[in-house]
A and B are shown apart, each in its own frame.
Chain A
Amino acid sequence: MAIVIQPYRQQHESAVQDFNRRLQGSSGDPNFVFSQSAVPRWLPPSADKPVWNEFYVAIDGSSNTGPTVRGVYALKQEVMFVRGKGLHRIGCYHHPLSEGIVDRSFASVGALLARDALAQQPLLYALGMGGMERSIAKMLKALGFSLTPIPFYFRVVHPAKFLREMRALRTEPWRASLMNIAAATGAGWLAIKSAQAAASLRSRSASPRVDFTDEEGVEFSDWADELWAQAKETVSFATVRDANTLRLLYPPNFSSDIASTRGLRVSRNGSAIGWAIIGLRRKDPKFGEMRVGSIVDCWALPENAATVIQAATQALEKDGVDLIVSNQSHHAWCGALEKAGFLKGPSTFIFAASKKLTELLQPQQENPASFHITRADGDGLPVNF
């Protein structure tokens, strides 16, 4: 009996747990894990909602031990805005896992999963993936997806701790020693602060007023609808960020056992000019013991982007983070990050658009800097921001 892909139901939960155990046991990678519940905790399916997650499982009926899960994936169904072409339903392909990762005899499962997702939703994208060299990115490229890295920015708040803890930069012993010396002497502090100040100065030509207030635990309502309507024509492509969608994406004070986010409403003279979602990232070995904050999502007219980024940065610094990171595609938001002293780093956060989606995005596909893609798109919450 062939492998059959079907919606993940409660009766599959124990088989998914077995699948998780096999993947984690053989790979030793705790990230190879799929939802133990058939009902998504974040964005459960609902007929009357604009955005939801669907889970699928690849069932192998030929196993001696009964129906066995050999692969899984999630499809986030959402609505996107394309300037000049209106609203379209699209899908985000995320969390694909195949038994082929640990057992070559299931090498076909990855292809089955990706093709099934494309059949479900030809207007399909994937986001993140950890770089162009990862299997998932290569597979999507083979299927005709166009791949674009989304710029990555970081701001070091506490340079000495950054130099001590940034394990991704400390892979060579000589480099680790140099970083230890730099951390101890203050030379590293000086170098990082200088680079950030230079980045900020380079883009300070049209500095906006920065009087803002932020209100934590914000609830998205009419004011967010107005902001969406005001600013949507300034981007060529974005997933919808009206109040109704935002309330689903960012339930007030959403938190899980490993990560949490909160919203900021940024105002000037009492009127909302933008919003941001900020969060403290989960522990990650590559960041050592650092507290890493993330500007997860944001929205405003381009002329107010710098104010919103400044508000988000200050709120995270107040939270005591050591490092702030963000991924932004739109040139106004990239400029706003640079104005706030963020440095641009190499990006492994890849936007992959299916052939059909690429066609729909023409001619804008030629200029991804007019897209509004952030860390919140794709699988986004609850952990991968």
Chain B
Amino acid sequence: MSKFDEVRAVASDILGVSAVSLNVTSSPETIENWDSVQHLNLVLALEEKFNLQLSPEEIEQMKTLGDTAKLIESKLHTSSR
């Protein structure tokens, strides 16, 4: 399973939408349920799943699901070095 697929599975669960309806360009502007509360829930769920902490700057970078997956991958890569 790719990192995007893992992030998509978490987002699907948090946002209450099917995983197939989410793609790399999905964002708060394209997914109705994705409001500020769900954005925070997504941040917290990703932190728990991947056992990492997201800084304010990183949270702000999570513009789309694709951005989010790249961010998570990069953080995991950095921490595994």
Q: Which of B28, B35, B56 has the most CB of A within 10 A?
A: B56
Residue B11 is within 8 A (CB to CB) of chain A in the complex = no
A107:B56 contact, CB within 8 angstroms: no
Candidates B35, B44, B57, B61; contact of A107 at CB < 8 Å: B35
Q: Which of B22-64 contact A (CB under 8 A)?
A: 27-29, 34-41, 43-44, 56-57, 59-63
Question: A135–B38 Cα gap in the complex (Å)?
Answer: 10
Question: A108–B34 Cα gap in the complex (Å)?
Answer: 10
Residues of B within 8 A of A107 (CB): 28, 34-36, 38-39
Residues of B within 8 A of A116 (CB): 56
Nearest B residue to A3, CB-CB: B60
Min C-beta distance of B17 to chain A, whole Å: 15
A112:B60 contact, CB within 8 angstroms: yes
Question: A114–B36 Cα gap in the complex (Å)?
Answer: 11
Nearest A residue to B30, CB-CB: A104
A142:B40 contact, CB within 8 angstroms: yes
Nearest A residue to B41, CB-CB: A142
B40:A114 contact, CB within 8 angstroms: yes
A2:B60 contact, CB within 8 angstroms: yes
Candidates B34, B35, B37, B60; contact of A142 at CB < 8 Å: B37
Chain B binding site: helix, strand, loop or mixed by DSSP? helix
Q: Which of A91-129 contact B (CB under 8 A)?
A: 98, 100-101, 104-105, 107-112, 114-116
Question: A107–B44 Cα gap in the complex (Å)?
Answer: 14
Residues of B within 8 A of A2 (CB): 56-57, 60-61
Residue A360 is within 8 A (CB to CB) of chain B in the complex = no
Residues of A within 8 A of B39 (CB): 100, 107-108, 110-111
B28:A105 contact, CB within 8 angstroms: yes
A135:B37 contact, CB within 8 angstroms: yes
Nearest A residue to B59, CB-CB: A108
Residues of B within 8 A of A135 (CB): 35-37
Tell me whether A108 and B44 are in contact in the complex, defined as CB-CB below 8 angstroms, given that A100-B36, A139-B37 are known contacts.
no
A5:B56 contact, CB within 8 angstroms: yes
Q: Which of B28, B39, B41 has the most CB of A within 10 A?
A: B39
Question: A139–B60 Cα gap in the complex (Å)?
Answer: 16
Residues of A within 8 A of B34 (CB): 104, 107
Question: A382–B44 Cα gap in the complex (Å)?
Answer: 35
Min C-beta distance of B57 to chain A, whole Å: 4
B28:A112 contact, CB within 8 angstroms: no
Interface string of A1-41 (1 = CB under 8 A from B): 01111000000000000000000000000000000000000
Residues of A within 8 A of B60 (CB): 2-3, 108, 112
A142:B56 contact, CB within 8 angstroms: no
Question: A59–B43 Cα gap in the complex (Å)?
Answer: 21
Nearest A residue to B39, CB-CB: A107
Residues of B within 8 A of A88 (CB): none
Residues of B within 8 A of A114 (CB): 40
Nearest A residue to B57, CB-CB: A2
Min C-beta distance of B69 to chain A, whole Å: 16
Question: A2–B58 Cα gap in the complex (Å)?
Answer: 8
Residue A143 is within 8 A (CB to CB) of chain B in the complex = yes
Residues of B within 8 A of A101 (CB): 36
Nearest A residue to B38, CB-CB: A107
Min C-beta distance of B47 to chain A, whole Å: 11
Question: A116–B34 Cα gap in the complex (Å)?
Answer: 21
Question: A139–B57 Cα gap in the complex (Å)?
Answer: 19
A residues sitting closer than 8 Å to B (CB atoms) are 2-5, 98, 100-101, 104-105, 107-112, 114-116, 135, 138-139, 142-143
Q: A105-B29, A111-B36, A112-B56 are in contact. List 18 more A-B contacts (CB 8 A).
A: A3-B56, A100-B28, A100-B35, A100-B36, A104-B27, A104-B28, A107-B28, A107-B35, A107-B39, A108-B39, A108-B43, A110-B36, A110-B37, A111-B43, A135-B36, A135-B37, A138-B37, A139-B40
**23 sample A-B contacts, Cβ–Cβ < 8 Å, listed by A number:** A2-B61, A3-B60, A5-B56, A100-B35, A100-B39, A104-B27, A105-B29, A107-B28, A107-B35, A107-B38, A108-B36, A108-B59, A108-B60, A110-B36, A110-B39, A111-B40, A112-B56, A114-B40, A115-B56, A135-B35, A135-B36, A142-B37, A142-B40
Q: 5 closest A-B pairs (Cβ-Cβ)?
A: A110-B36, A104-B28, A107-B28, A111-B40, A2-B57
